[in-house]
Amino acid sequence: MQTVLPLKPGGYFHIYDRGVNRENIFLEERNYPHFLSLYATHIIPIAETYAYCLLRNHFHILVRIREPQSKVGVKKASFHVSKAFNNFLTAYAKGFNKTYGRTGALFQHHFCRIPILTDRYFTALVRYIHHNPCKHGFVSDFQDWPFSSYHELASRAYTQLARPKVLEWFEGVNEFRKSHTHPIQETDPQAIFGNDMD
């Protein structure tokens, strides 16, 4: 049985999951903002969000778990964070099933989480997340995919993302944009994560 990594406060994590049997978890355009609305309700209070991409049958999110306001142990805090993510995905799945007359699990398994431990890993992951629609052939230019955080991070529009921190990692918005013009290399996250991200 695979050990589930605790989502420790202060930790940076790549969170991702896909539909059961690779089925689509977004069937209509309205599904994407609904997913993000539930995310804001359940996850924004417990995690800073740096990047995301929602694709037809899976999603990627890069977060930092917030420190708890009250004095609770790391183990207890990690449990509450995992529960918040589970509640979020369950709420989306229940609404999805009701809307489309389906039953059973929507997501493949417990959501996956990988700790981000270096600056290089962080910036490579942000680029990987934003380029993911190209990897799967949905668009030829990643900027044409509307359901990612790229445009929110590259603009001055209101956002609940931790935009100042992301741009600081990239040394400013111009370097952020410039870094995204380079194609994904073998040294980027896919080579590290393996095929489980597909």
**For the segment 58-108, what is each residue's pLDDT rounded down to a tens digit?**
999 999 999 877 665 556 667 789 899 999 999 999 999 999 999 999 998
pLDDT tens digits for 15-60?
999 999 999 999 999 999 999 999 999 999 999 999 999 999 999 9
Instruction: Catalogue all structural domains in the chain, each as residue range(s) with its CATH number.
Output: 12-197 (3.30.70.1290)
194: left (phi over 0), alpha (psi -120 to 50) or beta: left
Gyration radius of the chain's alpha carbons: 16
**13 in Cβ contact with 7 (< 8 Å):** yes
Per-residue pLDDT, 196: 45
